[in-house]
């Protein structure tokens, strides 16, 4: 007679090997998502190869691949631009003649742009009394959207509205690639690009250091 308590077979819901493979796949997917999140924070659009320059004989030094400081003898031509800000006021490179100034490329729906906005304003408030200029370049929004952003984030410096023809961005792109948003540039007293930050500004102190370096240069 058959033993009524005999177990003839056991079916595993998840074999050990399959379980391990599933766990490895989960971890790989999580790592990929984390990497994607980091890239999203760094910038809203793709970065470019010039950002990787670091002590390689090109005259540039880099804290990391996104932050580049250019030696005076390796800087490009003076950038000349003109546009209209979100309040309808004319803005041009002539407004910054003989000054160190900061240029930030942004738009309102860009997440990293929103995160870095208070840091930019902090540096602006610190260096405005020292004669440093600040100008934003909004590459996507209408004036009303740019004004609303400035009110929401407490931004007090103006922004060129560049959506119509993109001429301001083109003027800067002629001497340095602008392939990520946000991108922040520090301009020297000759109106040349002295430093560049691709993607989100990591800390106000980094931009402060780059501005201080430009101010310290002998004219």
Taking the C-alpha atoms of residue 210 and residue 206, their distance in angstroms, rounded to an integer, is 6
Compute the chain's Rg from CA coordinates: 25
- Phi and psi torsions of 108, nearest 5°: -65, -35
Full pLDDT tens readout for the chain, 219 residues: 444 434 444 344 444 444 444 434 434 333 333 333 344 445 675 433 333 333 334 444 444 568 999 999 999 999 999 999 999 999 999 999 999 999 999 999 999 999 999 999 999 999 999 999 999 999 999 999 999 999 999 999 999 999 999 999 999 999 998 889 999 999 999 999 999 999 999 999 999 999 999 999 986
Q: What is the pTM of this model?
A: 0.74
Half-sphere exposure of 208 (CA within 13 A, CB side): 11
Those residues whose C-beta lies under 8 Å from the C-beta of residue 107, and which sit 6 or more positions away, are: 44, 113, 138, 139, 140, 141, 181
Model pLDDT, residue 25: 40
Model pLDDT, residue 52: 37
The token duo for 91 is: 């803005």
- Torsional class of 98: left (φ above 0), alpha (ψ -120 to 50), beta (otherwise): left
């Amino acid at each position: 007679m058959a033993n009524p308590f005999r177990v003839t077979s056991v079916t595993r819901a998840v074999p050990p090997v399959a379980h391990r493979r599933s766990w490895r796949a989960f971890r790989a997917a999580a790592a990929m998502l984390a990497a994607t999140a980091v890239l999203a924070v760094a910038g809203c659009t793709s970065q470019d190869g010039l950002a990787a320059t670091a002590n390689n004989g090109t005259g540039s030094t880099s804290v990391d691949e996104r932050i580049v400081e250019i030696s005076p003898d390796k800087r490009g031509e003076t950038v000349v631009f003109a546009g209209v800000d979100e309040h309808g006021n004319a803005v041009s490179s002539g407004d910054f003649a003989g000054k160190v100034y900061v240029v930030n490329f942004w738009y309102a729906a860009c997440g990293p742009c929103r995160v870095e906005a208070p840091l930019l304003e902090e540096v602006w408030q610190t260096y405005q009394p020292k004669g440093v200029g600040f100008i934003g370049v909004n590459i996507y929004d209408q004036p009303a959207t740019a004004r609303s952003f400035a009110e929401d984030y407490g931004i007090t410096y103006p922004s060129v509205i560049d959506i119509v023809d993109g001429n301001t961005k083109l003027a800067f792109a002629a001497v340095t690639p602008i392939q990520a948003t946000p991108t922040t540039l520090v301009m020297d007293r000759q109106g040349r690009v002295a430093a560049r930050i691709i993607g989100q500004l990591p800390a106000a102190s980094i931009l402060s250091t780059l501005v201080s370096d430009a101010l310290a240069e002998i004219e």
